[in-house]
Amino acid sequence: MLNPGDWWLLLAIQELGQRYASIGEAGRVAGFRPLAPNGLGTPDLVYWRADPGVITLVYRPRPGLPAVRDDPEIGALVMEARGSVAVNGAQGFWVTGAQHGFFFYQHGAGGQGDNFRLSGDALVWNQAGLVVRIESGLTEDRALQMAGTVHAAAV
């Protein structure tokens, strides 16, 4: 149950897209078979947002799944999408539009992350076991051309 002051939560839910009754139903609409973590059980809510093509599984807090830091109603969000671009034979994502928050988080280093900052357009993909991210003022086509030149650096 939402409180009258929880207008921001309603806005956030609307941003997740259209609500569906099941993962399977959202997957049929999305055109791909979503993945779901068995360890979390059945999601409480399932959303599909056609633009940018993301399925979101919402899990409410429960024993063994505490609430996320900034939202007591959310235990976990699992978001997945097909890559929107092909980068060096792998699926990748072209992230564009309004600035978005970005940082790397390294679990093995005691939860250390780099500094949070606002980011512009970026191309993100996996290559050689690494997450590669090119943030630039380049167009998508030029960023893809630049990504085509990525290789193991001489050390």
pLDDT in tens, 79-115: 887 767 888 888 888 877 666 666 665 555 555 555 5
Q: Given this model, what pLDDT does residue 49 score?
A: 87
In terms of pTM, does the model score above 0.95?
Answer: no
Q: Given this model, what pLDDT does residue 2 score?
A: 46
Please, which contacts does 65-70 make with residues 24 or more away whose CB atoms are closer than 8 Å? 65/40
Q: Of all residues in the chain, what percent carry a pLDDT higher than 90?
A: 15
Compute the average pLDDT of residues 34-61.
88
The residues spanned by each domain of the chain are: 1-82, 83-155
Q: Which of 11-25, 79-93, 105-119, 121-135 has the lowest mean pLDDT?
A: 105-119
Identity at 6, one-letter amino acid code: D
For residues 123 and 134, the answer to whether their CB atoms sit within 8 Å is yes
